[in-house]
Amino acid sequence: MPDTGLDWEERLKEYLSANDLRLTRQRRLIAEAFFESEGHPNIDELYLRVRRRAPHIGQATVYRTLRLLVDSGLAASSRFGGAATRYEASDDDHHHDHMICISCGLITEFSNDAIERLQDEVARAHGFEMRSHKMELYGLCRACVERGPATS
């Protein structure tokens, strides 16, 4: 795996040309901001980040571009709790799920092949053709547990 994690640009170009779409300055900037981001940014965070470099960009363009990234398979979206949609780069070969701390908001990723297999099995048993899935564990992260039943 010689990859440094920077081939999203290639993949994006492929998707765009395959669909008669254009690689614009703002699409590149937004994608850049997205793939540079740690964690699970939401539209607001990406918008602010992109704006620093391109003050003229519109929020709608960020929404439109993130939808495009999701459609192309380069990004995945999730909504944790009731908050705004968050995005992350999708890793085709290794799906992962999330643990969300209900106290501090920390989002931790994990993956478990045994669970994945069981999910496939359950789906198959129902004649269901699974395309994707999503699993979220809510609770207290280690730090918040140790900090004890904090006064809210």
Partner DNA sequence: CTGCATGCAAAAAATTTGCATGAGG
Partner DNA sequence: CCTCATGCAAATTTTTTGCATGCAG
Q: How far is the CB of 127 from DNA (least distance, A)?
A: 29
Q: Judging by beta carbons within 10 Å of its beta carbon (0-12, 13-18, 19+), is residue 30 exposed, middle or buried? A: buried
10 binds DNA (CB under 7 A): no
User: Applying CB under 7 A, does 11 fall inside the site for DNA?
Assistant: no
Q: Using CB distances below 5 to 8 A depending on partner kind, what does residue 65 bind out of a second copy, DNA, none?
A: DNA
Residues 33-52 close enough to bind DNA by CB under 7 A? 42-44
The reply to whether 25 sits near a second copy by the rule CB under 8 A is no
Q: In 112-142, which positions are buried (b, 16+ CB within 10 angstroms) versus exposed (e)?
A: eeeebeeeeeeeeeeeeeeeeeeeeeeebbe
Compute the least distance from the CB of residue 57 to DNA, in Å.
4
Cβ atoms of 46 and 38 closer than 8 Å: no
Among 12, 34, 49, 65, binds DNA (CB under 7 A): 65
